[in-house]
Amino acid sequence: MNLNTPSTLPERPSVLVLGARGRFGHAAVQAFAAAGWRVIAQARSPMADLAAKDVEYLQCDALDTARILAAVPRVDVVIHAINPDYTRWETLLPPVTDAVIRIAMASGALLMVPGNVYNFGKELPAVLSENTPFAANTPKAAQRIAMEQSLADASRKGLRCVVVRAGDFIGGSGTWLDMAITKSLDKGVVTHMGPDDLPHAWAYLPDLANVFVRLAGQRDALPAFDIIHYPGITATGRDVHAALEQLSGRKLRAKAMPWWLMNCIALFSPMLKAAIKMRYLWQRPHQLSGDKLEKLLGKLTGSSLQEALRPYVKNAQDVGTISVA
């Protein structure tokens, strides 16, 4: 549905998803639409491949706040799913953050932001709660801390905002799972990013998006600014390997991530160079505490590790070398 198409639907809560073509943006569009919300999906490029029933599409740059607010003057919730170039966060995060703040404040919306564990720095502790101190000892940590501080500062000037912190995404493309861990799954190989026994925080995108929907339903009860952790799936490298074997129905060979080779290639790849700096996440055990979220929403239920990983095995199956159990 085009945004300019008149709607005869009854009044429903509304959500503007900024960055709808991204991994989380796409999941958010689907989850809110399935829950019966009026969904406006914004992206810079055409979104015909994201077409969903009763979703309105707004094609423009997220920094074009005047155009966005002209099209969506009032909305209940704004989802910040914009994913700036990973190698240019230092220059891109500030203007993007300013833009989403302006849009949310002008439209009277609750701004919902997916956070990550970068804020805790390279010595992050094993269990991460909302009270765990930040550590700006990596560039990405400093950039994310500054972004969240901007949101907190704006909340004292009228912004309503909640940051939902989660682990590495499971789902979509351009993640550690599809670009490294399961990249050679069609050849019967699982790449291990670090020691097999270290817990790692994961977030299956459909489950995370559903939590956003549930929290959005309680928007009037939330404080002006809040940070909430989503525990998602905590799994070791051994757990991931075992789940992939169970799904594929055969033994899979383990291969260590060739970080030395990645460092060589990174000399010619800014993206890989930036990604390698996050290697510490595979050398430190970490998981997110969900106590605060469960107090708000009740006991959390989500997909199993196998359910979350099934699409990756299906992709390998499509290559024709393994089957899905």
Examine the pLDDT at 259 and tell me if it is beyond 50. Answer: yes
Our CA angle for 64, 68, 74, nearest 5°, is: 145
CA distance 124 to 84: 24
- Residue 6: pLDDT band (50, 70, 90) is very low
What SS3 class is residue 251? coil
Examine the pLDDT at 133 and tell me if it is beyond 70. Answer: yes
* Domains of the chain: residue spans and CATH: 14-169+203-232+287-297 (3.40.50.720)
**HSE (CB half, 13 Å, CA atoms) of 268?**
3
pLDDT score, position 269: 85
pLDDT in tens, 292-302: 999 999 999 99
- Residue 321 · residue 187 · CB < 8 Å: yes
CA distance 75 to 78: 7
pLDDT score, position 4: 42
pLDDT score, position 8: 45
- Quick one: average pLDDT of 111-139? 97
Our CA angle for 92, 72, 212, nearest 5°, is: 70
- Quick one: average pLDDT of 65-94? 95
DSSP codes joined into one string, 288-316: E--HHHHHHH-S-----HHHHHHHHHHHH
- The token duo for 137 is 């000892």
* Residue 252 CB neighbours (<10 A): 21
CA distance 295 to 111: 21
pTM of the predicted model, to two decimals? 0.93
Backbone CA torsion sign across 89, 92, 94, 100: negative
- Residue 149 · residue 142 · CB < 8 Å: no
* Residue 156 CB neighbours (<10 A): 9
**End-to-end Cα spacing for the chain:** 38
CA distance 108 to 74: 6
pLDDT score, position 53: 64
- Percent of the chain surpassing pLDDT 90: 79
Give, for 189, the enclosing helix (H) or strand (E): strand 189-192
- The token duo for 278 is 């996050």
Examine the pLDDT at 50 and tell me if it is beyond 70. Answer: no
- Quick one: average pLDDT of 133-160? 97
Four-CA torsion 207, 185, 176, 244, nearest 10 degrees: 40
pLDDT in tens, 180-222: 999 999 999 999 999 999 999 999 999 999 999 999 999 999 9
- Residue 52: pLDDT band (50, 70, 90) is low
CA distance 103 to 223: 19
For residue 218, give every residue at least 6 positions away whose Cβ sits within 8 Å of its Cβ, in sequence order, or none.
296, 297
Side chain identity, residue 226? D
- Quick one: average pLDDT of 139-168? 97
